[in-house]
Copies of this chain bind each other. A is one copy, B any other.
Amino acid sequence: MNYKIRSLREKMRLLDINGMIVTNPANIHYIVGTNAEGVFLITNRENILLTDARYIEQVNNSITIGDEIIVYDSANVSEQDYLGFFAECTRIGIEENNITYAQYQNYVRKFRLKEAVETNYLIENMRMIKDDIEISKIRKASEITDNCFRYLLEYIKEGVTEKQIALEIEKYFIENGADGVAFDTIVASGENSSKPHAMPTDRIIQKGDCITIDFGAKFEGYCTDMTRTIFVGKVSDEIRELYNFILGCQIRATEKMKDNAEGKLIAKSLESEFNARNYSMIHALGHGVGLDVHEFPIISQRSCFTLKENMVVTNEPGIYIPGKLGIRIEDTILVNKMIPEVLTKSDKKLIVI
């Protein structure tokens, strides 16, 4: 059996559930190895993907006989079949953070569920630790992103708009083997950069701007996430000093991201450095990256996650001065036993174009 399903079944046993209905699309992708709309059922005897004609060929190309996954076109599944799937299961896990209330009620009726049990991000938690195939895909996504950044340093000049830069990034990704962007690109210049979640506007890049670019490619379903803040034409000593402070923070945090480190402590230590300079940390320090660009673990002063070998996480401290500017530096990092590997390898020293 597929090792992910085997491991999931062990965890189900600990929760005393003998069936599970997987509805989160990223969780289905994780188990099946490819993107397929539908629902995945783990019954006491079988692993079943209910999908539709659009995905069957693609799923059959992705799974092997060793996976022990049965694929059905849900158009051919009868009411009687639905009643049969969990006939011998008593407690059936659901993904309460994904399933809608209406779906929940529909499934209780359709599958005649005896007892639906909340599973509290069971598969999302498994997804935190990446295997070699997953890491190689994130590595490739990061490589494309790095190459794109090198290209951007040539492309960006006074006169282009934030939106044009964002489009150019998407174009680069698609023309260089990525699936596309892993998330909506942020290109925030000048005063716009003080908003951490700014969307690209028609603002024209001009001399003296700082530009925060938060972007990442997706490769075979896997994301990466990188931010660089660059400067146009000139940069004041004051800003240069601030940049180097954040860069120092980011590098020190990276060094701490190893097996068994507490995310909360890393974030708190950075927060102290920020506070000592009268800045506050207004967003989390980082998050897991994988099939979703934001997934577990969360690395912040308020979250309790222990970093583990083969987690892939971001490290993205930022300082924002409302109406003036923002500086954020972010990498995607592979957590190892000892020395973390920075997967996004673009230059981080202050760049003036």
Contacts and interface: CB of A to CB of B under 8 A. Distances in A.
Contact of A99 (B101, B170, B174): B101
Contacts of A324: none
A195 B102 CA distance: 30
Contacts of A101: 94, 96-97, 99-101, 104, 118
A94 B175 CA distance: 44
A118 B197 CA distance: 34
A334 to B, nearest CB: 29
B171 A167 contact: yes
A163 B174 contact: yes
A98 interface: yes
A297 B110 CA distance: 26
Contact of A170 (B98, B118, B170): B170
Most chain B C-beta atoms within 10 Å of own C-beta, residue among A54, A101, A105, A195 = A101
A176 to B, nearest CB: 11
Interface of A is mostly: helix
Contact of A96 (B100, B170, B171): B100
Contacts of A195: 54
A297 B307 CA distance: 48
A167 to B, nearest CB: 5
B102 A100 contact: no
A99 B97 contact: no
A197 B55 CA distance: 11
A336 to B, nearest CB: 34
Contacts of A97: 100-102
Interface in A118-132: 118
Nearest to A167: B171
Contacts of A118: 101-102
A40 B98 CA distance: 20
Contacts of A167: 167, 170-171, 174
Residue in A99, A102, A171, A174 with the greatest tally of chain B CB atoms within 10 Å: A102
Given A167-B171, A167-B174, A197 B54 contact: yes
